[in-house]
Amino acid sequence: DAKTTQPPSMDCAEGRAANLPCNHSTISGNEYVYWYRQIHSQGPQYIIHGLKNNETNEMASLIITEDRKSSTLILPHATLRDTAVYYCIVRAPQGTDKLIFGTGTRLQVFP
């Protein structure tokens, strides 16, 4: 699976959009991009995933560049409850179930 690179930390003002980047320059054609978040020491929570097209759900939007080498998770109106560690993962839909989470981006939303 392709390796991902994320900034270790980011800040965002409450009510503003939080844009979390992820670099996956070695992604292959059939690998999906997944985003999870972990609040404190709770179990990670799935947010969104995509292959090529931009995706949106009730939690967030996922923007994948045309060359697929990077993506951005957008939380449109960040709240204090969005303070968490966000993980970007890339993997193919076949083969083994091995997953590499990395250390993610710690997002701090401030009032």
Partner 1 sequence: EAQVTQNPRYLITVTGKKLTVTCSQNMNHEYMSWYRQDPGLGLRQIYYSMNVEVTDKGDVPEGYKVSRKEKRNFPLILESPSPNQTSLYFCASRKSLIQPQHFGDGTRLSIL
Burial class of 38 by CB neighbour count within 10 A (0 to 12, 13 to 18, 19+)? middle
**Which of positions 26-45 make contact with partner 1 (CB under 8 A)?**
32, 34, 36, 41-45
Q: Give yes or no for residue 95 binding partner 1 (CB under 8 A).
A: yes
* Of the residues 58, 66, 97, 111, which one makes contact with partner 1 according to CB under 8 A: 97
Q: Give yes or no for residue 56 binding partner 1 (CB under 8 A).
A: no
Beta-strand pair 45-50/9-13: unpaired
Q: Give yes or no for residue 53 binding partner 1 (CB under 8 A).
A: no
Q: Give yes or no for residue 93 binding partner 1 (CB under 8 A).
A: yes
The nearer residue to partner 1, 66 or 103, going by C-beta atoms, is 103
Q: Give yes or no for residue 106 binding partner 1 (CB under 8 A).
A: no
The nearer residue to partner 1, 14 or 49, going by C-beta atoms, is 49
* Cross-strand pairs, 21: 72
Q: Give yes or no for residue 102 binding partner 1 (CB under 8 A).
A: yes
**Cα 40 from Cα 24, distance rounded (Å):** 26
Cα-based torsion angle of the residue sequence 75, 77, 81, 83 in order, rounded to the nearest 10 degrees: 50
Residue 83 is which amino acid? T
